[in-house]
Amino acid sequence: MYLRSISLIIFLIFSHSILAQKPPIKFGKVSNEELKMKVYEKDSAAGAVVLCDFGISKIEYSQNTGFLLIFERTKRIKILDKKEYDRANIEVYLYNDGGDKEKLTGLKGYTHNLENGKIVSSKLEKESIFQEELDKNHDVTKFTLPNVKEGSVLEYTYRITSDFLFNFNDWEFQSTIPIMWSEYNTVIPEYYQYQKISQGYLPFHISTSEKKSAFITLISKSRSGSVVSKSEMTTEKIDLTKTYSRMVVKDAPAFKSEPHMSTYQNYISKIKHELSYIKFPNRPINNVMGDWNELNKKYLESPYFGQKLKMFLALNKVVDQLTEGVENPIEKAQIIYNHVLKKVAWNGKYRRMLDATLGKAYDSGFGSSSQINLLLANMLLKADLVADPVLISTRNHGVVRTQYPIADQFNYVICKLTIGDKYYLLDATDKYTPFGVLPQRCLNGQGWVVSQNSSGWINLVTKAKSGTKISGNIKITDEGSLSGGLKVENKGYKAYAERKKYYSQGEEEFLEKKKSNSDWEYDTYSLEKQDEVHASFIENFEFEAETDLLGNMLYIDPVLMDKMDKNPFALEERVYPVDFTSPIADLYYVNFEIPEGYVVEEKPESLAIGLPNKAATFIYQVNVSNKNITIMSKLDIAKILFVPDEYPYLKAFFAQIVAKQAEQIVLKKQ
């Protein structure tokens, strides 16, 4: 059992009359004011508000089982709008390892409603509580609070008892709805040293940490050395300290996602505790956190990870057949990559360790991210290529903090292929992603290469851009209508997105949605290279549209497609980085034929702007020649991440783009 009692020594811990902070609410007792609340004054748009979220984690000693980690939580939520009824669905996650499991006890819940002026409380019943197995190390208890209505107050409380002192509960002070009071307390004896990892932008209303004296009585049994041996009990009193910490955030606003940002988990105010080391009296330090090299070794030796790269001999024949007669290493790798893509479909599960064997994935045709990409690495190695697995955290899981060697920061594995002095990052879970291009979910900071000889960090960046090239020739009639054709070349990640929609929806539904989302009447619509994942996804439009004809003046919006109607950055200031995920390259190049009898009365002025170091550039040109007007609009964003200090400049940059693309061409009839 992990981190349990020390043999022949019994710890009895006594402390002075210092108790951890109690919850600021009394469970089961709600007020009329809480039930009568119709609107949360600090956020009138909120559909729900957390009235109180109180938690405490404390390490206690039991004579029978040793040191245990206790987590207790009490939470109360006010429902203001039916769109937030899902707040009544709660999930509690429990860790297990072998025969040891975290235990959930004391689970109680109520829904309180005000009916005819009286408080009516509906109790959580056992029939509404369910247990599910997530994977070999995690279970989840789910429950739904009953009789939820607009105006209800929900509350629940529970206790988790854990042998796993490394599995200290995280605490989030912020959510997607406002929180009036969020409080987290910890009580930790000096034997256990945790690294606190905090993030977020909300200030603490209360933040205290105080060491208090306590003492331990050590009781041990020994035998005398006399002829007639007998047992003797000895006691020893040892002074120690316990650290009491209290953290409170008051009136936390709802976290609102903004354009171009990764998961909100990277930015909300929260705190983690990671067990660094354990030091008992008269015993050497037990380093728990270790370092990245130690973690690398554990993964290489793990039967659920590194050892699988040497096994599954049945693939030897498959690899030999696939690569027979192929000498070029890139061609070999592409053949194997494409084989895995077609042979094993991703089941949608994010895994960093194997949850089933490689053989099961290969034979069944379905597998998790770890099965598929460790299978890919296995086959590349069998083809005498240099391949290593790479541990990463996907964008929805949060960024990896490289200063903390903690395995739980990762939730996914990809593959690194090295050929000469070049390397390629591969993920065979997505059949719409070309060789050497990672899905955007994987572009998240750095990954750790698990390798015998070349372990270390690698940047999860891409040279692939996301962009659209629009070109065409449009005829303007003297009645003010437009007719012509546009060619749309979706490139890089934009091609990936369109291709994925096309295959998931089917051609008929895909085309129908294109037409229904357009302001034009389509004459024809066709696709090119939709089956070629390495190529652009090309759309061809033939259409007709109307313009504004007022008297002898014809007003034309020259940007017919992908026009930036509003600034994506509307906030006055932003405390979170702007993350574009990948470089962007958009080009619009369209020619308009002027009808007979019309001249250009007014046209937009050309514009060229940019941010420092060519982080972003925008060029807009209007050229008039004979009976033609050519519009060129080009946007390039080379820098992926912009810090908050750069936000005002980025906002102003996009404001100029919006203003320029809104300008019209005015033709006058002579």
How large is the C-alpha radius of gyration of the chain? 32
pLDDT at residue number 552: 86
> 89-93, 177-181, 225-229: lowest mean pLDDT where?
225-229
pLDDT at residue number 107: 97
The predicted-structure confidence for 354-393, as pLDDT tens digits, reads as follows 888 888 899 999 999 999 999 999 999 999 999 999 999 9
Q: Where in the chain is the domain with CATH 3.10.620.30?
A: 292-459
Q: Decide if 545 contacts 445 (C-beta within 8 A).
A: no
pLDDT at residue number 358: 86
Residues 95-122, buried b or exposed e (16+ Cβ, 10 A)? bbeeeeebebeebebbbbbbeeeeeeeb
Structure-block tokens of residue 663: 């300008």
pLDDT at residue number 225: 41
pLDDT at residue number 315: 82
Percent of residues, the chain, with pLDDT higher than 90: 66
Helix, strand, coil tally for the chain in percent (to 5): 20, 45, 40
Q: What DSSP string runs through 56-89?
A: EEEEEEETTTEEEEEEEEEEEEEE-SGGGGGGGE
Mean pLDDT, to the nearest integer, of 405-417? 93
The predicted-structure confidence for 37-72, as pLDDT tens digits, reads as follows 999 999 999 999 999 999 999 998 876 777 899 999
Question: pLDDT: is 532 or 3 the higher one?
Answer: 532
Average pLDDT, the chain: 89
- Give the CATH number of domain 10-287; options: 3.20.20.70, 3.40.50.11900, 2.60.40.3140, 3.30.565.10: 2.60.40.3140
With a cut of 80, say whether residue 6 has pLDDT above it: no
The predicted-structure confidence for 131-173, as pLDDT tens digits, reads as follows 998 877 889 999 999 999 999 999 999 999 999 999 999 999 9
With a cut of 60, say whether residue 464 has pLDDT above it: yes
Supply the CATH classification number for the domain 466-488+512-526+543-669.
2.60.120.1130
Supply the CATH classification number for the domain 292-459.
3.10.620.30
pLDDT at residue number 478: 80
With a cut of 70, say whether residue 523 has pLDDT above it: yes
CA 485 to chain centre: 40
Mean pLDDT, to the nearest integer, of 93-102? 89
Q: Decide if 393 contacts 411 (C-beta within 8 A).
A: yes
Q: Where in the chain is the domain with CATH 2.60.40.3140?
A: 10-287
pLDDT at residue number 287: 87
Mean pLDDT, to the nearest integer, of 284-288? 89
Q: Where in the chain is the domain with CATH 2.60.120.1130?
A: 466-488+512-526+543-669
With a cut of 90, say whether residue 641 has pLDDT above it: yes
pLDDT at residue number 181: 97
With a cut of 90, say whether residue 486 has pLDDT above it: yes
pLDDT at residue number 217: 60
The predicted-structure confidence for 560-580, as pLDDT tens digits, reads as follows 988 999 999 998 988 889 999
Mean pLDDT, to the nearest integer, of 497-505? 92
The predicted-structure confidence for 165-224, as pLDDT tens digits, reads as follows 999 999 999 999 999 999 999 999 999 999 999 988 899 999 999 999 876 665 555 443
pLDDT at residue number 666: 94
> pLDDT band at 303, cuts 50/70/90?
confident
pLDDT at residue number 664: 94
Q: Would you mind telling me the total number of residues written for the chain in this entry? A: 670
Query: Phi then psi for 300, rounded to 5 degrees?
Result: -65, -35
CA angle 33, 38, 42 (to 5 degrees): 90
- Full-model pTM: 0.83
With a cut of 80, say whether residue 403 has pLDDT above it: yes
pLDDT at residue number 258: 87
